[in-house]
């Protein structure tokens, strides 16, 4: 899928690399600091739907330009909504799209090459991993507009950093730097050299893991966070993975002391 746009309207594109095993979702509205509109959310959802049924094994979420990952929702756009429309359309669509991103069976990485605030940070929180440039800043400033994070930020941030730090970030509207975010567990790694090189290393590591086992493990972690008993989920998942081609390839490689070659999605 490729959707192109000109000017300040914004677009979302999907690019495939590494033999089709890596997909990059690119949000491009650099002229407006990658602020998100309803149409861009629709485009993003279509890109996610395309990836869901593909041979992709790793998903990168990137934005255009430099210094700003995304400032989040387009304030000028949502300021025109009535309260019912805000509830039904803006918040409802944002939740649906970000939830769908979070539910992708492939591992996802948000590449934070600059400022990620408001809905931009919430978008990154919907990914499995976050890798940040050393100059990135993160925050949820919605309280300054008389509103709250509305695309799952209160829940996902709390799950990552705990209630106390989530309250600090949301209630004070403070922006934290990348180093603090890493200390808190909000980002997985800060790149003090090349951000692309750091991302590339993560992609290499992810592609080197058996894809079905990897995707099942992602679901197990999500299920555990929701309170599912590991004794049940891991037993079922282990039985399932033991019947896959990836398991046979991995076991054979281990016994032969060679590097495994995984083919299954």
- Between CA 170 and CA 90 the distance in angstroms is 20
Residue 234 bears catalytic tag: no
Q: Which of 122, 198, 234, 245 is catalytic?
A: 122
Annotated catalytic, 122?
A: yes
| Contact in structure between 115 and 71 (CB atoms under 8 Å) | yes
Which one is catalytic: 142, 198, 245, 256? 142
**Residues that are catalytic:** 122, 142
């Amino acid at each position: 899928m490729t959707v192109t746009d000109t000017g300040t309207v914004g677009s979302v594109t999907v690019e495939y690399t590494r033999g089709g095993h890596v997909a990059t979702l690119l949000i491009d509205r650099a002229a407006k600091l990658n602020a998100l509109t309803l149409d861009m959310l629709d485009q993003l959802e279509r890109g996610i739907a395309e990836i869901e049924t593909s041979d992709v094994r790793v998903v990168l979420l990137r934005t255009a330009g430099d210094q700003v990952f995304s400032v989040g929702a387009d304030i000028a756009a949502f300021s025109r909504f009535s309260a019912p429309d805000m509830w039904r359309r803006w918040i409802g669509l944002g939740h649906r799209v970000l939830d769908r991103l979070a539910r992708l069976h492939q591992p996802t990485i948000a590449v934070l090459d600059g400022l990620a605030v408001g809905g931009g940070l919430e978008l990154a929180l919907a990914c499995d991993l976050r890798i940040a440039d050393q100059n990135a800043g993160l925050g949820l400033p919605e309280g300054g507009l008389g509103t709250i994070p509305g695309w799952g930020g209160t829940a996902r941030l709390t799950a990552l950093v705990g209630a106390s730090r989530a309250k600090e970030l949301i209630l004070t509207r403070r922006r934290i730097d990348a180093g603090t975010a890493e200390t808190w567990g909000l980002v997985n790694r800060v790149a003090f050299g090349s951000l692309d090189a750091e991302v590339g290393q993560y992609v290499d590591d992810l592609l080197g893991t058996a894809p079905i086992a990897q995707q099942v493990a992602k679901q197990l972690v999500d299920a555990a966070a929701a309170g599912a008993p590991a004794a049940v989920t891991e037993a079922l998942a282990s039985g399932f993975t033991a019947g896959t081609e990836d398991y046979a390839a991995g076991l054979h490689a281990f016994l032969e002391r060679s590097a495994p070659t995984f083919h299954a999605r």
